[in-house]
Structure 1
């Protein structure tokens, strides 16, 4: 493992500054760029082996791009959640601790639903969050009742696999 850490240390020293600059140009924020640059290398540190990289910057950019997308998704989710909270009466507003727990739950749900096809995700959310009957979902989405049943079953199976795969 020592050669692995030496290779990672070399990769870090050779490319961290470049990656940080690339992320700063994408995010427009030095603090977020520094965090995501660090997260990129943490991802590599958690791997069991370092790949033989012929194009290290392209590889780092690919890993970092995924982290940027996750970052933007998290910001959008947080913005939507805070906007929804702004419409609540003050006495119904959750505590900061409760808000953080709910936000973490929302993030986990979003991550679980991320791999679903759009129609599968929509049917599942209509059924689970809106409580719509399958027949109503079918009419609303313009698809057959059987398709709604299959979509919801596919979504449940997808979530089950994600939950028990780890």
Structure 2
């Protein structure tokens, strides 16, 4: 009975950790041309992403630690996907580095007393998951080029909002 309660309390964290563990497996499948299996694993990762947040809210287990774990799991999985696609030549290898900058800015700005409202950044992770899914389902270079432009545009918009907020906050404190 006690194990069941502990498992229930840790289930959202376990789902996030599963997504982290799935990242290298996805890379192996993808890099070895096992695209159907990489798509299936990707869909499972999306399900764990949805489910961990849903369960945390439903079971009243939401926490800052859990939120950071969820975002970190997303970052690791998404970056691994783009790194794998970069190795295959689908996207520039620079893209995971851009994602690292975006993730770092999110972590740094989430420690501020007044949180940054970033409408572009709020949906950036979900958008990246959609880009990966579309790239896997429709592996065409023209689509990849269009999606890359959209990723860079939304990342730039998110950076703009964050820097604008920080500049305004600095002026208000002066």
Q: TM-score normalized by structure 1?
A: 0.33
Higher RCO by CA contacts (8 Å cutoff, separation 6 or greater): 2
Q: TM-score, normalised by structure 2?
A: 0.32
Structure 1 or 2, whichever has the larger Rg, is 1
